[in-house]
A and B are shown apart, each in its own frame.
Chain A
C-alpha cells in the first residue's frame, strides 16, 4: 500500500472500513453523517494562507485526499490528487448534507469565520481522533505559513514526511478476532417528542465552561468527566420523560457513547476506529436520582470497557460485513437495506449520543496562538439533541446539536451546572 502512495502518478484506492460503510448508504439529500471540529485562533484567519496550508496538509493525509467511488458491490475511496479542496466562508448550518461531486469530490469541507477555522468531515473518512490530528496539522501548517515555527509533536504531523502505511490501515480488520461475537441485546429506547426545524436548519447550542470545575465535580462523585456528563445528559432526558410519563413505553433511556478503540488496541490509523457503548436506565424500575443514574453508567462502562468485550462487539460488526451473502449483493440492494436499517434499527436502542474527544494537547509553540477548540456532531436523523465535548486548557465546550425547536434538554443540562456553581456561557446559531 505504501508503495502505491509514494507513486503519485498512480491512483491508489482502498476499501471503506467497517464503521465507514453505513454512512454512504444512509446518505440522503436531507441528511449526511457529518461532524465538525473547529479551532478558534487569537487573530483573524487569512483565507489565502489557509488555502495554501490546506493544499499542503491534505497531501500528507492519504486517507483524506480521496473521493468516493462506486463499485459493483461496495463503495471505495480513490485518490483525488489532481484537485484540491477549496476553503469557504463559514455557514450558519454546519454539517450540512454532502454530495459526492461537491467540493471537487473531497469528503471534508474547510471553512473560516473571523478567528475560526472549521472542518466538516464526512464520517466515512475518519473519527474524532483522526479528524483532530488533521485539524491540528492544518492549523500548525497555517501558523507555519504565517511565519511561526511549530514542531511536529503532540498530534501535529510533519507535512514533509512520507505517510506511514499504518495511518490508512483498517484496524477493525486487524484486531477483530474474538471467538465470542455480539453484544447484549438492547431494548427499544425512549425518543423525546419534539417539533422539527426546517430541513436545512440545524440548532447548535454551545455551553462554554471551565474544565477544572467540571473535573472537580466529577471527582467528587468518583467518576470521569465523560461519565459525569453522560449521567447529566441522561438525567436531562429523564426529566423530559417525567413530563411525558415515566411508565409510558418505551421506558429505557439510553445514551450512546463512542469509545476510541486506540486506547485499547494499539493503532496509528487516521481512519475510523471507534465503537459505541449504550449505557442507560429503565424508568419502569421507578424514579431515579442523578447519583443513581451516574452509578448505572459507571458500572456499565467498567463492565464493558475492556479489550475482550470490545473485541467481541467489533468482531460481530466485522463478521456481518464478511458474510458472503452480504458481500455478493449488488451495491444498490445493500444501499437500500442499509439505509432502512440505519433509520430504524440504528436509532432503536438510543435516546441520545454523547461524544467526548477529550482534552486537546498542542506543542508549546502553538498554544499561544490558540484560544479554544470546538466539536459539533451532525444532527441525528431522529429528533433528539446530541452532545459533543472537547476541551483545551481550562476551556470545556459542550455543544448540543439537533434539528428540533425545543431546547428543554439543553436548558435543564446547563442550568443544572449553574446550580452546582459552575458558570456557563452560551453561544448559538439560533436567532
Chain B
C-alpha cells in the first residue's frame, strides 16, 4: 500500500500522487481499480451555441419582414438599413458572446465597435451625413473602443482591485469628456475650445486621487467601512 511521505496518510493503490499535498508516489504503481470512474455526468448546461442560433433566426424574422415591406411599399427608398444595422449591433452585443466557449472581452469590444460604426456609416450614407460621421461619430467610436481596450487589458493583466479599477475607469470618463467636447466643438465651430470638460476633470481628479490613496491603506478602508456602513 502506498503512503504519502509528507502527510502520512495511506493512499489508494491506483493513486499516482497524494491528493492532499500533490506529492508524487515514489514506489512503483500497483494494479487497482480507482475509487471513481473517469466518465462524468453529461453536462446539464444549456447548449448556448444552439440557443444563439435560435435567437439569430428569431432576429432574422423582423429583418426579412421589413425587407419585404420595404421592397413592396416603398421601392427606391431603402429604410431597411436602419433595421438591419440595429439588428447587427444587437446580435454583436447579446448573441455573439453565447457562441464563444471562453469569454474574449477584447474581441467582443472590437466587434461591437465595428458593427456600431458600420451602423452609423449606413445612417450617414442614407442621410448624406458623412460630415458628422467623420467628425463626431467615428472619432467617438474609436475613442470609446480604445479606452475600453486599455481598461480591460489593465484589469485582466494587473488585477488592480475594485478601487483602482474605478480610478482607471474614471480617468477614461475624463478622456471621453474631452474628446466629446473637442469633436462637437470642431463640428459646430470648426475650432476646438474646451470648457466644460475641464470642470468634469476638476471634479473627478480629486476622487481618483482619493481612491488611489485609499486603495493602498487597508486600515483607512476598514475605518471608512466601519463609519459609513449602511
Q: Is the CB of B41 within 8 A of A96?
A: yes
Q: Is the CB of B44 within 8 A of A99?
A: yes
Chain B 37-48: CB-based contact to A (< 8 A → 1; otherwise 0):
111110111100
Query: Is A114 an interface position by the 8 A CB rule?
Result: yes
Chain A 101-113: CB-based contact to B (< 8 A → 1; otherwise 0):
0000000000001
Q: Which residues of B contact A99 (CB under 8 A)?
A: 44
The one of B10, B16, B46 in contact with A426, judged by C-beta atoms closer than 8 angstroms, is B10
Q: How far is the CA of A200 from the CA of B35 in the complex (A)?
A: 18
Query: Is B12 an interface position by the 8 A CB rule?
Result: yes
Query: Is B9 an interface position by the 8 A CB rule?
Result: yes
The one of A93, A113, A199, A426 in contact with B20, judged by C-beta atoms closer than 8 angstroms, is A426
Residue on A nearest B44 in the bound complex, by CB: A97
Of B21, B35, B45, the most chain A CB neighbours within 10 A belong to: B35
Q: Which residues of B contact A93 (CB under 8 A)?
A: 40-41
Q: How far is the CB of B7 from chain A (nearest CB, A)?
A: 5
CB within 8 Å of A: which of B1-30? 1, 4, 7-12, 15-16, 18-21
Q: How far is the CA of A30 from the CA of B41 in the complex (A)?
A: 12
Q: Is the CB of A424 within 8 A of B9?
A: yes
Query: Is B33 an interface position by the 8 A CB rule?
Result: yes
Q: How far is the CB of A66 from chain B (nearest CB, A)?
A: 21
Q: Which residues of B contact A90 (CB under 8 A)?
A: 36-37
Q: Which residues of B contact A113 (CB under 8 A)?
A: 36-37
The one of A29, A407, A427, A431 in contact with B12, judged by C-beta atoms closer than 8 angstroms, is A427
Q: Which residues of B contact A407 (CB under 8 A)?
A: 19-21
Q: Is the CB of B45 within 8 A of A199?
A: yes
Q: How far is the CB of A413 from chain B (nearest CB, A)?
A: 9
Q: Is the CB of A92 within 8 A of B20?
A: no
Q: How far is the CB of A429 from chain B (nearest CB, A)?
A: 4
Q: A418-B9, A426-B10 are in contact. Are A29 and B45 (CB under 8 A)?
A: yes
Residue on A nearest B7 in the bound complex, by CB: A415
Q: Which residues of A contact B18 (CB under 8 A)?
A: 426
Query: Is A26 an interface position by the 8 A CB rule?
Result: no
Chain A 404-427: CB-based contact to B (< 8 A → 1; otherwise 0):
000100110011001000011111
Query: Is A204 an interface position by the 8 A CB rule?
Result: yes
Q: A96-B44, A430-B19 are in contact. Are A414 and B36 (CB under 8 A)?
A: no
Q: How far is the CA of A244 from the CA of B159 in the complex (A)?
A: 19
Q: How far is the CA of A89 from the CA of B44 in the complex (A)?
A: 17
Q: How far is the CB of A4 from chain B (nearest CB, A)?
A: 33
Q: Is the CB of A92 within 8 A of B45?
A: no
Q: Which residues of A contact B19 (CB under 8 A)?
A: 205, 407, 410, 426, 428, 430
Chain A 188-232: CB-based contact to B (< 8 A → 1; otherwise 0):
000000000001110011110000000000000000000000000
Q: Is the CB of A29 within 8 A of B33?
A: no
Interface residues of B: mostly helix, strand, loop or mixed? loop
The one of B7, B8, B35, B37 in contact with A89, judged by C-beta atoms closer than 8 angstroms, is B37
Residue on B nearest A115 in the bound complex, by CB: B33
Query: Is A329 an interface position by the 8 A CB rule?
Result: no
Query: Is A91 an interface position by the 8 A CB rule?
Result: yes
Q: Is the CB of A206 within 8 A of B7?
A: no
Chain A 1-35: CB-based contact to B (< 8 A → 1; otherwise 0):
00000000000000000000000000001100000
Q: Is the CB of A92 within 8 A of B40?
A: yes
Q: How far is the CA of A92 from the CA of B9 in the complex (A)?
A: 22
Q: How far is the CA of A121 from the CA of B9 in the complex (A)?
A: 31
Q: How far is the CA of A423 from the CA of B19 in the complex (A)?
A: 16
Q: How far is the CB of B176 from chain A (nearest CB, A)?
A: 34
The one of A29, A200, A411 in contact with B40, judged by C-beta atoms closer than 8 angstroms, is A200
Q: Is the CB of A424 within 8 A of B10?
A: yes
Q: Is the CB of B44 within 8 A of A29?
A: yes
Q: How far is the CA of A407 from the CA of B7 in the complex (A)?
A: 12
Q: Is the CB of A91 within 8 A of B41?
A: yes
Q: Which residues of B contact A249 (CB under 8 A)?
A: 222
Q: Which residues of A contact B1 (CB under 8 A)?
A: 425
Q: How far is the CB of B227 from chain A (nearest CB, A)?
A: 14
Q: Is the CB of B39 within 8 A of A89?
A: yes
The one of B8, B38, B41, B46 in contact with A200, judged by C-beta atoms closer than 8 angstroms, is B41
Q: Is the CB of B45 within 8 A of A411?
A: no
Q: Which residues of A contact B8 (CB under 8 A)?
A: 415, 418
CB within 8 Å of B: which of A307-335? none
Q: A426-B19, A430-B19 are in contact. Are A418 and B37 (CB under 8 A)?
A: no
Chain A 78-90: CB-based contact to B (< 8 A → 1; otherwise 0):
0000000000011
Q: Which residues of A contact B222 (CB under 8 A)?
A: 249
Name B residues whose Cβ lies closer than 8 Å to a Cβ of A.
Answer: 1, 4, 7-12, 15-16, 18-21, 33, 35-41, 43-46, 222
Beyond A96-B44, A205-B20, 6 additional contacts (C-beta under 8 Å) are: A91-B36, A91-B37, A418-B7, A426-B11, A426-B20, A428-B12
Q: List 5 A-B contacts (CB under 8 A).
A: A92-B40, A205-B19, A205-B20, A424-B10, A425-B1
Name A residues whose Cβ lies closer than 8 Å to a Cβ of B.
Answer: 29-30, 89-94, 96-97, 99, 113-114, 199-201, 204-207, 249, 407, 410-411, 414-415, 418, 423-431
